[in-house]
């Protein structure tokens, strides 16, 4: 009888320990749709990439992302988004796709315009008209689900990278951005653009201006 009670108590203790471990190891991911636009005029055949991260990210400052765009007829983008699992400060990730032997130079962006009569659309062709673009041509876009838990209180940093030209120059972003979500002060300063996870972020290459808006 006594041994049976001991076995029952031991079983209960194990179940409680298991539940406690489940609670402490529960995933803390907080993926939210995040869009980044960077305006940079480009010539036909050029491609723009995004690099960035967060002081609160993983060891390398990388922030986990999941691409939302299918890519349509944009074979370059479709190839380069494969295995692109982080917003980071480096080029191609291990296992990231290549196109025609050309490796990605970061997170691939898609060219967009606000011209509704343009012959291609982001949703069907992987570039062209986007309803999120309210500003004009050459607004290169990244549309991802981003892990906000790996950002600095919801903030991350970015710069564009253009193969053949290299890094975008330093910027000194305005303390307060335009847009309905631009009135929050960033947590620290650097020479990069600052965006907010879970919002639409709009920048101009090598400009201090910024625009941060909520999704409708």
Q: pLDDT at residue 158 above 50? A: yes
For the four alpha carbons of 55, 56, 61 and 63, in that order, the dihedral sign comes to: negative
Is residue 47 within 8 A of residue 76, CB to CB? The reply is yes
Is residue 35 within 8 A of residue 130, CB to CB? The reply is no
- Give the position of tokens 């710069």: 159
Query: Within a 10 A sphere around the Cβ of 91, how many other Cβ atoms?
Result: 14
pLDDT computed for residue 216 by the predictor: 81
Per-residue pLDDT tens for 69-110?
999 999 999 999 999 999 999 999 999 999 999 999 999 999
């Amino acid at each position: 009888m006594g041994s049976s009670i001991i076995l029952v108590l031991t079983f209960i203790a194990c179940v409680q320990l298991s539940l406690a471990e489940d609670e402490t190891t529960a995933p803390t991911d907080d993926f939210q749709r995040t869009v980044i636009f960077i305006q940079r005029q480009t010539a036909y055949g050029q491609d723009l990439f995004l690099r960035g991260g967060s002081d609160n990210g993983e060891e390398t400052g990388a922030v986990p992302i999941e691409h939302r765009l299918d890519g349509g007829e944009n074979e370059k983008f479709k190839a380069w988004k494969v295995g692109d699992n982080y917003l980071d400060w480096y080029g191609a990730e291990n296992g990231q796709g290549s196109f025609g032997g050309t490796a990605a130079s970061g997170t691939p962006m898609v060219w967009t315009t606000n011209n509704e009569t343009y012959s291609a659309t982001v949703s069907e062709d992987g570039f062209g008209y986007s309803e999120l673009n309210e500003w004009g041509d050459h607004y290169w876009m990244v549309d991802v689900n981003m892990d906000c838990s790996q950002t600095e209180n919801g903030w991350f940093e970015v710069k564009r990278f253009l193969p053949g030209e290299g890094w975008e120059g330093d910027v000194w972003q305005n303390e307060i951005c335009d847009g309905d979500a631009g009135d929050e002060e960033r947590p620290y300063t650097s020479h990069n653009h600052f965006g907010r996870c879970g919002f639409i972020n709009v920048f101009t290459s090598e400009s201090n201006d910024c625009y941060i808006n909520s999704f409708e």
